Structure 1
């Protein structure tokens, strides 16, 4: 589609970023969208140039030629759009590992761009308008799109607690809350919030690493049906001095690794193997295809727990 370079259209727009929140806001008019597990991507359409730009300003257009072609035929003279590039699995849920494989040209997944904001269109700066108006304009534009690679990110106005619970059951990363009366503001903002719905599980500690701190990380495992302990990742303990002392009082060192798949040693770290008797509760985003935890966070040790063959704890 032939276009002329619009006057006044920004060469660069820094994306608006959400602030992590512990709970939904009690006041204000908010709408909620799925927090896609992908790569944040802004699209700039002007003249004969269509660009896909990451949140850090890198031009990834050549890595997504099909998306570039889909954007090129949008019925606009010029535009800036905000969205997230994802690959959907068989259940229709974003799969971050499949997305990485698609970029590495190892996977067969089709990269889809979910669009959730319209910042500029047809020589008009829409960033000053409230979200409700920008979204209405975006929906009207997306109603004219036939490509399955470009999709509108639907929003929900239900009780956020029920939305989070639904997202958790679908094993989604979380949800994004947005003030519908707020303009678009580049950078971190409290008018956009993210509410995560991590999974939680108990894991066996099979060792620790030491670096500059007394305990650099806990090495976690689960027991497989054959009774062997399988390494699934590590997590920083965030112990206070008292908690660290209590941990060492319970820990029983052993000479050999208890894991059947010993983690690869990293330079500058000391590895201490432990008898697999201490259980910790950990929240995490998801399991990787390699069977390890992604974005794990320790929630503390279990005082009266011992490891069971299913990798959970008995009390």
Structure 2
């Protein structure tokens, strides 16, 4: 007769009301991946962080900043209704994949709408990497390994709009090297024994292939080519205000340059959002955020070798770079 296992199954938390919103857990930027068997790794997706709330009568999609963007992700909403759950909160990233299977923020931004686009909302995929609530139980107190154990049967192997963000336990430095060699944004390291903690902390760490942050667009400089964009003027946050952080003059195609110029011309203001006097500058309302890749900062606090990667609305500006 087989001996019964002495190992007890994990104890689930008691029944809890479903939270209206969960402040997301945010990864801390580090230079090198952590080491040890308690760390697992995922690809760092280049998209919008969202939470999918599945309720008996509705599905809601909330952004990282808490805005309801349900109507912007119709295919994710439809697919969420097909999951075998009564109630759930899935944490993950909405992305659009290029022809090599890499997430591309610029393609996602176009699919969502502010600029002309060949990509439709149906091209957007949600990669779920955490499960915070399931059928009446708040799972945030459980360690990550248990939350993943419950998440994987729900979304693993699916090819629709909701998919599983694969997790691997490997040598972190090698995984990071391979990710960068394939042109990915970087990797995320997560401690598998930690509960879900809102805010930024050391239990989730991100290791990027290049430095990349978001900045508020406060103006532009026209190109010498009529109707085109020469340079974006950018600002970071400091002590609750916006401060000029330098400019960005590369990273867009000929067509995108013209589209961005037209978009910004509709936002021109005579009241600059930052203290800046610059010949030829055209100031705009600070309502857009640019994703920018750069190498470093200059000694006077300006971006060095900045390249444009995408643009989005400031209403969800939780990720705008903050100067210390």
TM range (shorter): 0.5 to 0.7
**Shift of residue 36 of structure 1?**
0.3
Which of 6, 13, 28 pairs up with 1:19?
28
1:210 and 1:270 in contact (8 A); partners too = no
Question: For 1:50-199, what aligned pairs fall within 5 Å after superposition?
Answer: 50-104=59-113, 106-109=117-120, 110-143=123-156, 146-198=158-210
* 1:69-127, Cα deviation, whole Å (9 max, x unpaired): 10011110100110000000011100111000000172325000000000110111111
Separation in 2 of the partners of 1:140 and 1:293?
Answer: 34
Change (3 A) 1:66 1:111: same
TM-score (norm 2): 0.62
Which is richer in strand? 1
User: Is 2:26–2:198's contact at 8 Å kept on the other side of the alignment?
Assistant: yes
TM-score by length of 1: 0.64
Q: Relative to structure 1, is the Cα distance of residues 167 and 271 closer, same or farther in structure 2, using a 3 angstrom cutoff?
A: farther
The equivalent position to 1:295 in structure 2, one of 285, 293, 296, is: 293
- In the other structure, the counterpart of 1:232 is 250
- Is 1:33–2:42 an aligned residue pair? yes
Q: Distance between the aligned counterparts of 2:88 and 2:150, measured in 1?
A: 12
8 Å CA contact 2:60–2:77 kept in 1: the answer is: yes
SS at match of 1:270: coil
Aligned length: 228
SS where residue 108 of structure 2 aligns?
helix
The runs of 5 or more residues in structure 2 that have no matched partner are: 1-14, 213-230, 235-243, 252-260, 262-267, 281-289, 300-324
* 1:211-247 Cα shifts (integer Å, max 9, x gaps): 9xxx97487xxxxxxxxxxx537xxxxxxxxxxxxxx
Q: Could you tell me which residue of structure 1 aligns to residue 17 of structure 2? A: 8
Q: CA deviation at 1:294?
A: 2.9
**1:270 maps to what in 2?**
278
Alpha-carbon distance between aligned partners in 2 of 1:54 and 1:180, rounded to the nearest angstrom: 24
State the match for 1:243 in structure 2: none
Distance 1:216 1:14, change over 3 A: closer
How many angstroms apart in 2 are the aligned matches of 1:28 and 1:47?
A: 39
Change (3 A) 1:123 1:96: same
Q: Which structure 1 residue ranges, 5 or more long, are not aligned?
A: 1-5, 201-207, 220-230, 234-263, 273-291, 302-315
Superposition RMSD on alpha carbons, in Å?
Answer: 3.4
Cα 1:194/1:293, change in 2 over 3 Å:
closer
CA distance in 2, matches of 1:82, 1:107: 28
CA contact (8 A) 1:209 1:269 kept: no
User: CA distance change for structure 1 residues 176 and 269 in 2, over 3 Å: closer, same or farther?
Assistant: same
The CA deviation at 1:20 is 0.8
Counterparts of 1:51 and 1:132, CA distance in 2: 26
Q: Given that residues 209 and 216 in structure 1 are in contact (C-alpha distance below 8 angstroms), is that contact kept between their aligned partners in structure 2?
A: no
Pick closer, same or farther for the CA change 1:14–1:87 going to 2, 3 Å: same
